[in-house]
Amino acid sequence: MKKFKLLTLFLLIYLTNAAQTYYSPEEIPDPKEYGDGFVSDPDGFISSTDEDYLNDIIKNIQEEKGFEVAVVVVNSIDNKAVLPFATDLGNLWGVGKGDRGIVILAAISDRNLAIATGYETEQFIPDLVTQEIQQEEIIPYFKLEDYGQGLITGLEVIEAIVLGEDVPDYVEEAQQKQKNVKIWEYIAMGVGGLLILLTILVSPKLKTVITNAIILVAAVVVSLIAYFVFLKESYTASVIFDGSVILGFIAIAVNAFIVVKNETSAIWPYAVLISCVVGVPLTGLYLYGYTAIVFFYLSGAGIIFGMFLLTYLITLFQKDPYHKFHTIKVFKLDVFAYVFPFPMYVVDLFVENQLESWRNRVRYSKKTGLEMHKLDEEKDNKYLEKGQVAEEKVKSVDYDVWVSGEPEDILILKYTTWFSKYSTCSKCKYKTWYLVYDKTISAATYSSSGTGEKKRACSHCGHQRITRYTIPRKTPPSSSSSSSGGYSSSSSSGGSWGGGSFGGGGSSSSW
């Protein structure tokens, strides 16, 4: 009985230690130190037959195109970020001759997988392609715990890509997406140049040219600093170009908006500006494959714009400018311009001009036929009721008073503010009713509810109402804990690998 208990105890200790086995890059056995293979499987997750086949594929890739591939399968890396880990492992071993290296790392217990690519390898196998290989080829087998076959099928696709043989459709699609990213960057550069030209046309000054030049230089400088200070360990130098394009375009667009806003009241520069600013990201989404987002945006914008055109058409058949104003004023709501800046921001400017024109258009008295003129804010108060003056004072309603010079020939037009903290008073019927305060009388606790008090009053007639309400009891917080682990990168070359280096290219997945 005692022997059985001791055996059980030792078995539990063994299983616990095995389950907790994890590696640092320095602790993973380098296959070049004990042979000519390319596979490191210290925990025995793949069979010797599969390992031999993997070595044959990698050897063929090396002999044909000079690429080196390291396949690493371990129990755990303590749930550290798997792509940086694989990148540092590739640098530690020096996988790849002339930076033509690939590291495939699988942490089985962590259920994490990464394909890290050397600097030159990224030109042949872009990050999107490595992601698709993991999802389409490797992970389906990993879910079945057939790790050897998953690595074989994934490596066979890599071999086909490197040797220029037939590849699955998803690889070609991913490669095309990667090319589309570059196409979008060149489009952004071209449109950025157009925005610079727009600012010069609107404000033909030396200051405008100098400002744009400073913006472009600053974008490059910021991208260089970001790369060498923060991103060098995880990304390739290509992010300098990417960052310069993105930052430069954003800064040029902002500067263009400031110049147009300050230098002109014409609408056409805004039309050009908004078309460019919205068109570039939409084009990027389309080229990157997010066609549904582009479709929904264009559909929504088209519907709203169509509704505007129909509404504006109605105003063409209306004679009274006051009716025209209230028919179309809904399109002055900023929400349309925020959600669909193209074309609704331009529509917003057009509607603003139209509303101003209709509100101040000369009117003729329906009583006498005489021409009327609008009084200013100080003079019109004597024609308004005290409640109307109070509404103007709190800016819940604005009134225009038109007179012709004849006694009693007065026209008062009401323009209600869209959003105001004031509502209609139940006593005097003016829009001067507001919340004075909302305060806590007794705070709620975990064992009892509390009491709050609200006071509402009318700034015109003085009517007020005080109400009390119940504040629900507090809900005890649920306990939770979390932990995170850090990871520091390192790089060196050695062993009998090719001496290659990695800059963070590749991708990672989980299953």
pLDDT at 18 exceeding the cut of 50: no
13: pLDDT confidence band, cut at 50, 70 and 90? very low
User: Looking at residue 487, what is its pLDDT?
Assistant: 39
- Percentage of residues in the chain with pLDDT exceeding 90? 47
pLDDT digits (tens, 9 = 90+) for 245-287: 999 999 999 999 999 988 888 889 999 999 999 999 999 888 8
Strands in 127-175 per DSSP E: none
User: Taking Cα atoms as reference points, which of 143, 252, 160, 162 lies closest to residue 208?
Assistant: 252
User: Taking Cα atoms as reference points, which of 355, 313, 308, 315 lies closest to residue 331?
Assistant: 308
Report pTM: 0.61
Contact in structure between 191 and 276 (CB atoms under 8 Å): yes
pLDDT at 414 exceeding the cut of 90: yes
Question: For the chain, how big is the Rg over CA atoms in Å?
Answer: 35
| Total Cβ atoms within 10 A of residue 216 | 16
Give the position of tokens 């610079």: 196
489: pLDDT confidence band, cut at 50, 70 and 90? very low
User: Looking at residue 469, what is its pLDDT?
Assistant: 94
Taken as a whole, the chain contains a residue count of: 511
Contact in structure between 495 and 92 (CB atoms under 8 Å): no
pLDDT at 10 exceeding the cut of 60: no
pLDDT digits (tens, 9 = 90+) for 350-389: 999 999 999 999 999 998 999 999 999 888 898 999 999 9
| Separation in Å, CA 102 to CA 33, 82, 216, 430 | 18, 14, 36, 75
Q: What is the dihedral of CA 88, 93, 95, 97, to 10 degrees?
A: 120
Give the position of tokens 């992970």: 139
17: pLDDT confidence band, cut at 50, 70 and 90? very low
Alpha helix stretches (DSSP H) within 28-118:
48-65, 82-93
pLDDT at 477 exceeding the cut of 70: yes
d(CA 137, CA 149): 9
pLDDT at 31 exceeding the cut of 70: yes
Q: Class of the 2-167 domain?
A: alpha beta
Contact in structure between 62 and 92 (CB atoms under 8 Å): no
| Least confident range of 140-144, 401-405, 475-479 | 475-479
Q: Which helix (H) or strand (E) holds 40?
A: strand 39-40
Sign of torsion over alpha carbons 156, 157, 162, 168: positive
User: Looking at residue 488, what is its pLDDT?
Assistant: 38
User: Looking at residue 450, what is its pLDDT?
Assistant: 92
User: Looking at residue 481, what is its pLDDT?
Assistant: 38
| Total Cβ atoms within 10 A of residue 150 | 24
| Separation in Å, CA 152 to CA 136, 251, 345 | 13, 47, 54
Give the range with max mean pLDDT: 7-11, 99-103, 368-372. 368-372
User: Looking at residue 62, what is its pLDDT?
Assistant: 87
Delimit the domains of the chain by residue range: 2-167, 174-289, 302-360, 363-416, 433-471
| Total Cβ atoms within 10 A of residue 265 | 10
pLDDT at 486 exceeding the cut of 50: no
User: Looking at residue 504, what is its pLDDT?
Assistant: 67
Concatenated DSSP letters of 436-498: EEEEEEE---SSS-EEEEEEEEETTT--EEEEEEEEPPPPPPPP---------------TTS-
User: Looking at residue 230, what is its pLDDT?
Assistant: 78
Cα-flanking dihedrals φ and ψ of residue 112, to 5°?
Answer: -125, 145
User: Taking Cα atoms as reference points, which of 507, 490, 491, 499 lies closest to residue 96?
Assistant: 499
d(CA 278, CA 340): 9
d(CA 79, CA 22): 9
pLDDT digits (tens, 9 = 90+) for 425-454: 999 999 999 999 999 999 999 889 999 999
d(CA 175, CA 15): 44
Cα-flanking dihedrals φ and ψ of residue 46, to 5°?
Answer: -120, 155
